[in-house]
Amino acid sequence: NAGVTQTPKFQVLKTGQSMTLQCAQDMNHNSMYWYRQDPGMGLRLIYYSASEGTTDKGEVPNGYNVSRLNKREFSLRLESAAPSQTSVYFCASYRQGLSYEQYFGPGTRLTVT
């Protein structure tokens, strides 16, 4: 089992460019999450998908969109990147109802110039 995988690992964008961050999990988990991590702050929730076919906003959703493509995959899209979106992005998943243990991917380090 690979657990949670994310691509790409690193990305540099110019202001205004768009990109999609990919996330996949092979643990048969229902729920998937996108977080951003900034220095000195805890992980902040951008969007989440409690189950296939549903998505909801988290704490900091502005400037992002998501797609829950199927049970395995959950993508995060930046339509028009801004320097304030420079951050490390983590995807996580867990199986609701059995436990609440979230497992994280290795992260995508994004720089917007």
Residues binding other proteins (CB under 8 A): 4, 33, 35, 40-45, 48, 58-59, 90, 99-107
Which amino acid type is present at position 42? Answer: G
Minimal distance, residue 58 CB to other proteins, in Å: 7
CB closer to other proteins, 59 vs 79: 59
Minimal distance, residue 41 CB to other proteins, in Å: 6
Taking the CA of residue 57 as centre, how many other CA atoms within 13 Å lie in the half-sphere pointing to its CB? 6
The conformation of residue 85, written as its DSSP 8-state character, comes to G
Q: What phi and psi values does residue 85 have, to the nearest 5 degrees?
A: -95, 5
CB closer to other proteins, 78 vs 107: 107
CB closer to other proteins, 17 vs 103: 103
Longest dimension (CA), the chain: 42
Q: Which two tokens stand for residue 63?
A: 């400037």
